[in-house]
Structure 1
Amino acid sequence: MSELYEHRNLLAKISVKSNKKLLSSLAGFVREVAMIEGLKIEEARRLELITDEACLNVIQHAFESNNEAYFDILLERRPGQFVVAIEDKGIPFDWKKVESGKGEGLGMLLIKAFCDEIRFINLGREGKRLELIKGISGKDLSFIKEKDKSLSAREVKDISSISIRFMEPHEGIALAKCFYHVYGSTYLNYIDYPEKIKDLLEEGLQKSIVAVNEEGEILGYGGIKKEKPDSTTGELGRIIICPGYPEEKLIENILKKCIDYAEDTGIYGMYNETFSEDISSQKANLASGGIETGISVGYSDSLLKKKNRSGVIMYYIKVNEEPERIVYPPFEHTTIVKKIYNLGKFRRILKKSMGRAALVNMSDHALVDVKVYSDSGYAVMHVSQYGTDLGDLVRFRLKELCQNNIDCIYIDLPLSDPATCTFCSSLEYLGFFFAGIIPEVYNGDILRLQYLNNVTIEKEKVLLLSDFGKELFNYILRCQGEERI
Structure 2
Amino acid sequence: MTDQLLGRLRIESIDSVSLLGSLAESAAVVLGISISDAARLGTLTGEVAEALVRDAYDDETEIDMELDVVRSAGSCRLILRDHGAPMDLGRGGYPPRVSELVRLGFADGLEIAYEPRVGNRAEIAKNRSFASVSSDEEFVAAVESEADTPDAADFDDSGELDLQVRAMAPADAVGVARLFYRCYHYTAVQAPLVYEPERMAEYVEAGRHFGTIAVTRTGRVVGHVASEIERPDAITGRIGLFAVDPAYRRHHIGSKVGFAHVVRLVERGIVGQFTEAVTVHLASQRSALAAGGHEVGLLLAGQSPRLSFEGFEGTAGRRKSVLLFFASLGAIPGRTVHVPNVYREVIGRIYAECSLEREIKTDFDPRSPADPDGTNLKLTLSHETGVARIRVAAYGHDFLEVLQEQVNQLRLNRFDVIWVYFPLADPATSKYASGLQELGLSFSGVYPEYLDGDYLVLQCLNNVDIDPADIQVASEMGRYVRDFVVADARRAADREAVQSRSRARMARIYEALDP
Which amino acid in the other structure matches residue 177 of structure 2? A
Would the alpha carbon gap of residues 24 and 105 (structure 1) be closer, same or farther in structure 2, given more than 3 Å must change? closer
- Give the structure 2 partner of residue 312 of structure 1: 322
- Give the structure 1 partner of residue 4 of structure 2: 9
Matched, 1:321 2:315: no
Q: CA deviation at 1:105?
A: 5.6
Q: Unpaired segments of 5 or more residues in structure 1?
A: 1-6
State the distance in 1 between where 2:328 and 2:48 align.
43
**Greater Cα shift, 140-149 or 361-370:** 140-149
- Give the structure 2 partner of residue 4 of structure 1: none
Secondary structure of the structure 1 residue equivalent to 2:384:
coil
**Greater Cα shift, 440-449 or 40-49:** 40-49
Q: CA deviation at 1:192?
A: 8.2
Would the alpha carbon gap of residues 267 and 11 (structure 1) be closer, same or farther in structure 2, given more than 3 Å must change? same
State the distance in 1 between where 2:240 and 2:460 align.
23
Which amino acid in the other structure matches residue 229 of structure 1? P
- Give the structure 2 partner of residue 136 of structure 1: 128
Q: CA deviation at 1:148?
A: 4.7
Report Cα offsets for 1:268-324 as digits up to 9, x if no partner.
111121112353322222122111111111223356344344421111111111111
Matched, 1:170 2:171: yes
- Give the structure 2 partner of residue 283 of structure 1: 286
> 1:239 aligned to 228, 233, 242, which one?
242
Which amino acid in the other structure matches residue 307 of structure 1? G
Would the alpha carbon gap of residues 226 and 244 (structure 1) be closer, same or farther in structure 2, given more than 3 Å must change? same
State the distance in 2 between where 1:262 and 1:94 align.
38
Which amino acid in the other structure matches residue 386 of structure 1? Y
- Give the structure 1 partner of residue 367 of structure 2: 357
State the distance in 1 between where 2:302 and 2:458 align.
14
Report Cα offsets for 1:432-464 as digits up to 9, x if no partner.
111110111123111111111111112122111
> 1:297 aligned to 295, 300, 324, which one?
300
Matched, 1:481 2:490: yes
Whether the aligned pair in 1 keeps the contact of 2:143 and 2:178 (CA below 8 Å) is no
> 1:60 aligned to 23, 41, 54, which one?
54
- Give the structure 1 partner of residue 267 of structure 2: 264
Report Cα offsets for 1:357-414 as digits up to 9, x if no partner.
34x1423422222111112111221122222333233222222222222111111111
State the distance in 2 between where 1:34 and 1:307 align.
31
Whether the aligned pair in 1 keeps the contact of 2:89 and 2:114 (CA below 8 Å) is no
Would the alpha carbon gap of residues 191 and 323 (structure 1) be closer, same or farther in structure 2, given more than 3 Å must change? closer
**Greater Cα shift, 145-154 or 58-67:** 145-154
- Give the structure 1 partner of residue 416 of structure 2: 407
Q: Unpaired segments of 5 or more residues in structure 2?
A: 151-158, 309-315, 493-515
Which amino acid in the other structure matches residue 283 of structure 1? R
**Greater Cα shift, 79-88 or 289-298:** 79-88
Would the alpha carbon gap of residues 405 and 154 (structure 1) be closer, same or farther in structure 2, given more than 3 Å must change? farther
- Give the structure 1 partner of residue 210 of structure 2: 207
Matched, 1:127 2:134: no
> 2:144 aligned to 150, 157, 169, which one?
150
Would the alpha carbon gap of residues 406 and 274 (structure 1) be closer, same or farther in structure 2, given more than 3 Å must change? same
Which amino acid in the other structure matches residue 12 of structure 2? K
Which amino acid in the other structure matches residue 424 of structure 1? A
**Greater Cα shift, 446-455 or 145-154:** 145-154
Secondary structure of the structure 2 residue equivalent to 1:147:
helix
- Give the structure 2 partner of residue 3 of structure 1: none
Report Cα offsets for 1:317-344 as digits up to 9, x if no partner.
1111111111112111111111111111
State the distance in 2 between where 1:442 and 1:433 align.
22
- Give the structure 1 partner of residue 71 of structure 2: 77
Whether the aligned pair in 2 keeps the contact of 1:121 and 1:128 (CA below 8 Å) is yes
Secondary structure of the structure 1 residue equivalent to 2:371:
coil
State the distance in 1 between where 2:194 and 2:227 align.
20
Would the alpha carbon gap of residues 130 and 354 (structure 1) be closer, same or farther in structure 2, given more than 3 Å must change? same
Would the alpha carbon gap of residues 193 and 347 (structure 1) be closer, same or farther in structure 2, given more than 3 Å must change? farther
Q: CA deviation at 1:220?
A: 4.5
- Give the structure 1 partner of residue 505 of structure 2: none
- Give the structure 2 partner of residue 443 of structure 1: 452
For 1:179-218, what aligned pairs fall within 5 Å after superposition?
179-180=180-181, 182=184, 184=186, 193-213=196-216, 215-218=218-221
Q: CA deviation at 1:429?
A: 2.5
State the distance in 1 between where 2:450 and 2:372 align.
23
Q: CA deviation at 1:50?
A: 2.2
Matched, 1:340 2:333: no
Matched, 1:117 2:109: yes
- Give the structure 1 partner of residue 400 of structure 2: 391
Q: CA RMSD in A?
A: 3.4
Report Cα offsets for 1:82-118 as digits up to 9, x if no partner.
111222343525989769xxx8763343254221111
Which amino acid in the other structure matches residue 84 of structure 1? L
State the distance in 1 between where 2:160 and 2:240 align.
23
State the distance in 2 between where 1:13 and 1:274 align.
41
Would the alpha carbon gap of residues 248 and 460 (structure 1) be closer, same or farther in structure 2, given more than 3 Å must change? farther
Which amino acid in the other structure matches residue 172 of structure 1? A
Whether the aligned pair in 2 keeps the contact of 1:87 and 1:130 (CA below 8 Å) is yes
Q: CA deviation at 1:219?
A: 4.5
State the distance in 2 between where 1:455 and 1:319 align.
36
Report Cα offsets for 1:27-59 as digits up to 9, x if no partner.
333233323333233332322222223223333
Whether the aligned pair in 2 keeps the contact of 1:137 and 1:192 (CA below 8 Å) is no
Which amino acid in the other structure matches residue 4 of structure 2? N
Q: CA deviation at 1:225?
A: 2.5
Q: CA deviation at 1:140?
A: 5.2
**Greater Cα shift, 416-425 or 236-245:** 236-245
Secondary structure of the structure 1 residue equivalent to 2:436:
helix
Whether the aligned pair in 2 keeps the contact of 1:248 and 1:280 (CA below 8 Å) is no
State the distance in 1 between where 2:146 and 2:427 align.
53
Secondary structure of the structure 1 residue equivalent to 2:453:
coil
Whether the aligned pair in 1 keeps the contact of 2:88 and 2:119 (CA below 8 Å) is no
Which amino acid in the other structure matches residue 260 of structure 1? V
Would the alpha carbon gap of residues 68 and 53 (structure 1) be closer, same or farther in structure 2, given more than 3 Å must change? same
Q: CA deviation at 1:260?
A: 2.1
The sequence identity of aligned pairs, in percent, is 24
- Give the structure 2 partner of residue 86 of structure 1: 80
Secondary structure of the structure 1 residue equivalent to 2:234:
coil
Whether the aligned pair in 2 keeps the contact of 1:138 and 1:192 (CA below 8 Å) is no
Secondary structure of the structure 1 residue equivalent to 2:101:
helix
The size of the alignment, in residue pairs, is 472
For 1:461-472, what aligned pairs fall within 5 Å after superposition?
461-472=470-481
Whether the aligned pair in 1 keeps the contact of 2:422 and 2:429 (CA below 8 Å) is yes
State the distance in 2 between where 1:207 and 1:277 align.
27
**Greater Cα shift, 249-258 or 194-203:** 249-258
Which amino acid in the other structure matches residue 169 of structure 1? P
